[in-house]
Amino acid sequence: MGVVVQKYGGSSVADADGVKRVAQRIVEAKKAGNSVVVVVSAMGDTTDELIDLAEQVSPLPPGREMDMLLTAGERISMALLAMAVGNLGHEARSFTGSQAGVITDSAHGKAKIIDVTPSRIQAALDEGAIAIVAGFQGVSESSKDITTLGRGGSDTTAVALAAALAADVCEIYTDVDGVFTADPRIVASARKRDQISYEEMLEMAACGAKILHLRCVEYARRYGMPIHVRSSFSHKTGTWITDETPEDDTMEQAIIAGVAHDRSEAKITVVGVPDKVGEAARIFEALAEAQINLDMIVQNVSAAATNLTDISFTLPRADGQTAMTALTRIKDEVGFAALQYDDQVGKVSLIGAGMRSHPGITAKFFSCLAAAGVNIGMISTSEIRISVVVEESQVDDAVTATHSAFDLDSDEVEAVVYGGTGR
Ligand code: ADP
Ligand code: ASP
Ligand code: MG
């Protein structure tokens, strides 16, 4: 009997009817003869609502308590789902991340999974039960405190469990039919991909395509776990994330895999940094000590008259406050003039493995942005990606223009968004 891991996102279990609909779907998989493990997210926008609530009682809530609070969201949905499955005549047992053996480091809010010991899940399966696991959470190996894996982390729980249980497939059920060439909430003519490689999916996820959590794709690639992203609202085949090339699909040989966007970053500029050896190192050491992951970094040429330079970088908006505090602390020591904080920025990225062998992609990307009246603030590239930082208000225009310029628009059915608020 094969093991199937299914993950249902928040929009799929947004209310009691959603929970009952998902329970039906789980029972179908069980009746088809599989051992079924389900990973579930918090209902609807519960996580956002809990974050809002925390901010109302404390401006900078401690990570430990924040994680304790947020994991409650997934505990609600796992128990309700187990009840709904039970009501359909099948035994289901719910488990917290800790009970499911998801062991992490102790970085609250962005913990990394270091081990998965799913003995209780295996025992439940051996006894013929369906195991329902709370996504996005684990327990710290060292402190034994409850941790969370970062926003969207239930995807990673699912792939990690699938790998540990040697599952045949990890199915990610969501509110769209699969991975599209752009977010269907912005581009209605986006096309569904039948297949996408781990490499391209990694770049899409890293660039903000929140259809999959970045670490889930990293994990899947490391363990060769195929992921099937599909809708819980339809029975259509979704998108397969694997390195196997499909037999006959010209689309898959396309130069461009898709356009991704990200509104979760902010930009900090350190103004008037003395242009001498070691200054940049001190700035970035301070940020590293504060556990902040940076994305793009740009240092301008210093003005000859002053010998001062500006350094700009982007980082997760959620870390903006912490970064500003860490930098303010070293202001006098480094001797820079000022700090500027801008959270009205967005990032738009063009991704495709074909870029390696096709010149002119950058020129075409930048000229289509120019034609759309979008000003480029910062640029970064990898072998298979070009990203630009633009004003947040221009993100939609930039995505739409790029999608058309690279002939990605579909002339068939429009992409369907079945649920969710897009929050
Ligand atoms: P879930 O609650 O199921 O985890 P998410 O909201 O995290 O769902 O992810 C699904 C959403 O990802 C879709 O509703 C869509 O708006 C967004 N998305 C962004 N980029 C893409 C893309 N390239 N293809 C499909 N969906 C995308
Ligand atoms: N509930 C968490 C979030 O909203 C985890 C997830 O949905 O994957 O980020
Ligand atoms: Mg998600």
Measure Cα distances from 213 to 148, 206, 207, 217, 374 in Å. Answer: 13, 8, 11, 7, 28
The length of the chain, given as a count of residues: 423
- CA–centroid distance, 30 to ligand 2, in Å, is 25
Over residues 123-137, the mean pLDDT reads 98
Atom of ligand 1 nearest to the CA of 10: 2
Q: Ligand 2, from 67, 71, 151: best to mutate by most atoms within 8 Å of Cβ?
A: 151
Q: Does residue 342 belong to any structural domain of this protein? A: yes
Checking 216-219 for CB contacts under 8 A at 24+ apart, the result is 216/155, 216/156, 216/158, 216/159, 216/172, 217/241, 219/113, 219/156, 219/159, 219/160, 219/163
Residues 169 and 266 in one domain: no
Over residues 289-311, the mean pLDDT reads 88
Q: Does residue 206 belong to any structural domain of this protein? A: no
Residues 45 and 133 in one domain: yes
Residue 10 CB less than 6 A away from ligand 1: yes
Domain coverage including residue 94: 3-174
Spatial contact of 307 and 275, defined as CB atoms under 8 Å apart = yes
> For position 248, what pLDDT does the model report?
52
Q: Does residue 194 belong to any structural domain of this protein? A: no
Per-residue pLDDT tens over the stretch 15-67: 999 999 999 999 999 999 999 999 999 999 999 999 999 999 998 899 999 99
Which amino acid residue places its CA nearest to atom 6 of ligand 2? 152
Cα 161 from Cα 102, distance rounded (Å): 8
Over residues 310-319, the mean pLDDT reads 94
Residues 258 and 156 in one domain: no
CATH code, domain with 35: 3.40.1160.10
Residues 7 and 154 in one domain: yes
The residue out of 174, 190, 220 marking a domain boundary is 174
Q: Does residue 227 belong to any structural domain of this protein? A: no
Give the tokens for residue 378. Answer: 């910062």
pLDDT exceeds 80 at position 309 = yes
Q: Does residue 351 belong to any structural domain of this protein? A: yes
CATH code, domain with 360: 3.30.2130.10
In 3D space, the residue among 179, 180, 105, 178 whose CA is nearest the CA of residue 139 turns out to be 105
Residues 280 and 135 in one domain: no
What is the domain count for the chain? 2
Residues 154 and 31 in one domain: yes
Q: Does residue 216 belong to any structural domain of this protein? A: no
